[in-house]
Chains A and B, each alone.
Chain A
Amino acid sequence: MSSKPVYKVGDEIAGPVRGITPTRIEWYDSAMLSAATNELRQVGSNIHTDQEFAKTQGFDQVNADGMIMTNWCSEMMVKAFGLHYLERGELRNKYIRPVHLDVELRVRGRIKEAVATKDGGVLYVVDVWCEDQHGTKLVDGDARVEVR
Chain B
Amino acid sequence: MLGGYISDLEKGDVFKPVEYVVTSFMCSEYAHGSEEGSEFFHSAHNPAGRQVRPPTMIHVDKMRILEANCDKERRIAGMKGPDARVHYEYHAKHHSPAYVGDRLVVTGHIVDKYVKRNRPYLHYYLEVRTADGRLVTTYNDHTLLRYKPIGVE
- Interface of A with B (CB < 8 Å)? 1-2, 16, 18, 24, 27-28, 30-38, 40, 44, 46-47, 53, 57-59, 65-68, 70-72, 74-75, 78-79, 82-83, 85-95
- B5 adjacent to chain A (CB < 8 Å): no
> Taking the nearest CB of chain A, how far is it from the CB of B120, in angstroms?
13
B35 touches A32 (CB 8 A): no
B54 touches A79 (CB 8 A): no
What are the 10 tightest A-B residue pairs by CB atom distance, in nearest-first order? A31-B33, A71-B34, A2-B47, A58-B148, A35-B30, A92-B91, A66-B87, A58-B147, A90-B93, A35-B26
Q: Given A70-B90, A89-B55: A57 and B26 within 8 A (CB)? A: no
Q: Given A38-B25, A58-B152, A91-B90: A27 and B34 within 8 A (CB)? A: yes
On chain B, the number of residues with a Cβ less than 8 Å from chain A's Cβ atoms is 46
B47 touches A1 (CB 8 A): yes
B48 touches A83 (CB 8 A): yes
B52 touches A86 (CB 8 A): yes
Q: Is the interface of A mostly helix, strand, loop or mixed?
A: helix
Q: Mark B26-64, 1 if CB is under 8 A from A, else 0.
A: 110110111110101000000110001011110110011
A70 to B56, CA, bound (A): 8
Stretch with Cβ within 8 A of A (4 or more), from B6-14, B76-84, B109-117, B123-131: B76-84
Q: Which residues does chain A contribute within 8 Å of B54, judged by CB atoms?
A: 71, 74
Counting chain A CB atoms within 10 Å of each CB, the highest count among B64, B90, B147 belongs to B90
- B96 adjacent to chain A (CB < 8 Å): yes
A146 to B83, CA, bound (A): 40
A92 touches B34 (CB 8 A): no
B38 touches A78 (CB 8 A): yes
